[in-house]
């Protein structure tokens, strides 16, 4: 119907049954009902929301008071950064993680502690009469000079009984001096730093396997029907945004993901296509290559998640929603447990969050026993971002040594 036609319609109505009293007619009852119902609904929703707002406000305030009472400075940083391994009381873990309490290294003062933190340790070390298979990450990328100074001062004070304190400026000098030197090669190398150290165990001769040139070519150049790994995952497997960090993931884990991509059991267009071009030998070689890459963390919290909540989920879980601590399966420092529980430390936050969402939404299904499906479903979206950001703030995992790799080669790879 076009415009000119409208007028006659009106006139028709006027003709047929217009009564002047219709001008005074009430608003139709249903309209009033609708208005009243919507008003009641709106008011009730507003009231309910204001209740939630008040609760949230109270929680935030009580959280702030708790934060105000919590330990500060070096102690807080120690509890947040070091206590998953060395324990809140500095006692370490028997036969696994060296104690700090009364250790010669803590007694040697904050400068030594800071240098160990900057480079990490990779090799056998004797502390308080026990030998440990030292594997400590480098905190150089994860912490700034001020934080390292505070932690080192706290550790030397509390566990070594020294009165000296370190300034951020001194850490900057140490950082420059120790840059690009790699991890400390066990207690043997540290003995040069700490005089009068009891005999340290020798470094085992490490047989570095030469990288297969064909695998190297795959990583950096790709082949005819597959682009190179490095083009997305970075030159050293450090990953970026939604592309995961591969460096230091267990060989068995990487191999299984590649096979799952190849068979279409895990979905990602790029990876499905690349993996289809790989044979078993190449998958094995690539997994071995990335498992032994040691690269500083390139991940940063980037999703605006609540880091304190993320830390809580990672360390304690939230059992009220049936979520156990991430670290109860992925290892107490997020180092992973080969081959089924990948390392989480220093993983790209966007990748972690997207995988959690994929599990929750049923788009990723290759978690053993569906463990991650169930956990991801239980985590609200804000918690997923929080935990992803927290994991990104951790130092990178020291990649497994060749000895451990040989063990994986012999057995569990096929799991």
Find the shortest distance in angstroms from Cβ 233 to other proteins: 22
Site string for other proteins, 319-358 (x = CB under 8 A): xxxxxx---xx-xxx-xxx--xx-----------------
Site membership for other proteins, residue 92 (CB under 8 A): yes
Report the alpha-carbon angle 118-391-358, nearest 5.
Answer: 150
Selected range binding other proteins among 43-51, 162-170, 210-218, 262-270, rule: CB under 8 A:
43-51
Is 181 a binding residue for other proteins by CB under 8 A? The answer is no
Whichever of 132 and 351 has its CB closer to other proteins, that residue is 132
Stretch that binds other proteins, among 195-203, 254-262, 274-282, 380-388 (CB under 8 A): 195-203
Q: Which of 9, 46, 55, 179 binds other proteins (CB under 8 A)?
A: 9
Closer to other proteins by Cβ: residue 122 or 147: 122
Q: Of residues 175, 223, 267, 374, which one binds other proteins by CB under 8 A?
A: 374
CA 184/CA 290 separation, integer angstroms = 21
* 196-226 b/e (C-beta count within 10 Å ≥ 16 → b): ebeebbeeeeeeeeeebeebeebbeebeeeb
For 361, counting Cβ atoms within 10 Å of its Cβ (0-12 exposed, 13-18 middle, 19+ buried), the class is exposed
Helix (H) or strand (E) holding 79: helix 73-81
Distance CA 414, CA 11 (A): 85
Binding flag, residue 130, other proteins (CB under 8 A): yes
Is 213 a binding residue for other proteins by CB under 8 A? The answer is: no
DSSP assignment string, 45-71: HHHHHHHHHHHHHHHHHHHHHHHHHS-
Total residues in contact with other proteins, by rule CB under 8 A: 72
Q: What is the rounded CA–CA span in Å between residue 48 and residue 50?
A: 5
Out of 161, 169, 182, 202, the residue judged to bind other proteins by CB under 8 A = 202
CB 345 within 8 Å of CB 395: yes
User: Which member of 20, 28, 195, 213 binds other proteins (CB under 8 A)?
Assistant: 28
Work out which of 94, 192, 195, 213 binds other proteins, going by CB under 8 A: 94
């Amino acid at each position: 119907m076009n415009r000119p036609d409208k007028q006659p319609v009106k006139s028709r109505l006027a003709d047929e049954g217009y009564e002047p009293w219709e001008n005074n007619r009430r608003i139709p009852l249903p309209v009033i009902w609708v208005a009243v119902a919507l008003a009641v609904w709106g008011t009730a929703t507003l009231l309910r929301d204001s209740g939630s707002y008040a609760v949230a406000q109270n929680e935030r305030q009580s959280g702030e008071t708790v934060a105000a009472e919590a330990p500060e400075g070096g102690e807080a940083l120690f509890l947040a950064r070091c206590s998953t391994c060395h324990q809140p009381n500095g006692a370490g873990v028997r036969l696994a993680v060296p104690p700090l309490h009364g250790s010669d290294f803590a007694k040697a003062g904050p400068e030594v502690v800071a240098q160990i933190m900057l480079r990490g340790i990779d090799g056998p070390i004797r502390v308080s009469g026990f030998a440990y298979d030292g594997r400590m990450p480098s905190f150089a990328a994860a912490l700034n000079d001020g934080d390292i100074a505070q932690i080192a001062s706290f550790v030397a004070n509390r566990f070594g009984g020294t009165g000296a304190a370190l300034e951020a400026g001194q850490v900057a000098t140490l950082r420059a001096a120790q840059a690009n030197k790699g991890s400390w090669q066990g207690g043997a190398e540290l003995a040069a730093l700490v005089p009068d150290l009891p005999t340290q165990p020798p470094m085992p001769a490490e047989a570095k396997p030469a990288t297969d040139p064909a695998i190297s070519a795959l990583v950096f150049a790709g082949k005819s029907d597959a682009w190179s790994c490095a083009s997305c995952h970075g030159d050293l497997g450090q990953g970026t945004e939604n592309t995961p960090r591969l460096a230091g993931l267990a060989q068995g884990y990487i191999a299984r993901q590649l096979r799952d991509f190849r068979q279409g059991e895990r979905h990602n267009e790029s990876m499905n296509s690349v993996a289809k071009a790989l044979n078993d030998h190449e998958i094995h070689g690539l997994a071995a290559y990335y498992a032994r890459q040691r690269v500083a963390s390139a991940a940063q919290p980037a999703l605006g998640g609540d880091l304190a909540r993320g830390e809580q989920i990672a360390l304690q879980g939230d059992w009220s929603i049936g979520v156990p601590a991430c670290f109860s399966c992925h290892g107490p420092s997020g180092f992973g447990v080969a081959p089924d529980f990948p390392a989480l430390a220093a993983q790209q936050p966007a990748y972690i969050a997207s995988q959690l969402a994929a599990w929750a939404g049923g788009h990723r299904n290759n978690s053993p026993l569906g463990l991650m499906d169930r956990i991801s479903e239980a985590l609200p979206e804000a918690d997923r971002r929080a935990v992803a950001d927290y994991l990104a703030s951790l130092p990178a995992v020291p990649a497994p040594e060749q000895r451990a790799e040989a063990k994986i080669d012999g057995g569990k790879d096929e799991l």
